[in-house]
Amino acid sequence: MPAAQSSAPGPKILIVDDDEPTRLTYAQALRGAGYEVVEARDGLAALEIAARELPALILLDVDMPVLDGWQTLQRLQQANHQQPVIMLTGATQVEERVKGLSAGADDYLGKPCDYRELLARVHSVLRRSRPQPTVVRLLQFGGTVVDLANRTAVREGQPVGLTRTEYALLEMFAQHPGELVTREAMLESIWGYDARSNTRTVETHIWRLRLKLNDTAGDPRWIQTVAAGSGYRMVCEPVAGWAQ
């Protein structure tokens, strides 16, 4: 049995999964770590609970009846819900991970997973979703201006849709302008992974960020690969609000 909870529970997590044993397993692990947990067995129920309970984070299964995970994520975005989302799925192909991240999910967790990995991912996503102090306020990449403080990005008057993780990457680069930021440092700081983790998460996010900044994949100008893939360096044009 989980330990008794204090009168001030931790952040509220919404688990959305049509498989009851999976929900119960994840809920027990999260409650044992001090989180408050609410559950939904399908996407429609998840939308109602998210609007009512305002969870700090949503664990969202992909394969569900009524509304699948992708449709539910789209409905959440249309309703302007700001909660970070971790997609849960048994599929492990790179294409599925890219699809989830491209759709606006904050992370991607394969099923089944060890409860320690679940807790580490939840902790990491919650940490990077909190507003962080920034070294610089505005960054300019050609025609794209990114406001780190207000989490907005604009190109030629049109918004550029950056995810929480992409803002976290830019903030980390902004703390070290023109310097090497190692892949290991990103894994530990942003995702909470062990630096030795065998994952392509960093590369996938950098690839997506370059696309959104109109950076050239073959010869990137703004987010440059350093030392044969050991890390990256940000080169951008300072604008009003730049702090040296």
Clarify whether residues 80 and 122 are in a common domain: yes
For residue 122, CA distances in Å to 12, 19, 37, 61, 234 come to 11, 20, 12, 15, 27
> Residues 120, 127: contact at Cβ < 8 Å?
no
pLDDT tens by residue, the chain, 244 residues: 344 444 456 789 999 999 999 999 999 999 988 899 999 999 999 999 999 999 999 999 988 988 999 899 989 988 888 889 998 887 655 555 566 566 678 888 888 888 888 888 898 888 777 665 545 678 899 889 999 888 899 998 899 999 889 999 998 898 887 788 888 888 888 887 765 666 778 888 999 999 999 887 778 888 988 866 678 988 876 664 444 3
Tokens of 48: 């109602």
Q: Is residue 100 part of a domain?
A: yes
Clarify whether residues 41 and 118 are in a common domain: yes
For residue 89, CA distances in Å to 14, 49, 167, 176 come to 16, 21, 25, 35
Whole-model pTM above 0.85? no
Clarify whether residues 42 and 85 are in a common domain: yes
Domain range spanning residue 124?
A: 12-129
CATH number, domain with residue 22 = 3.40.50.2300
> Structurally, how many domains does the chain consist of?
2
Residue finishing a domain among 107, 129, 151: 129
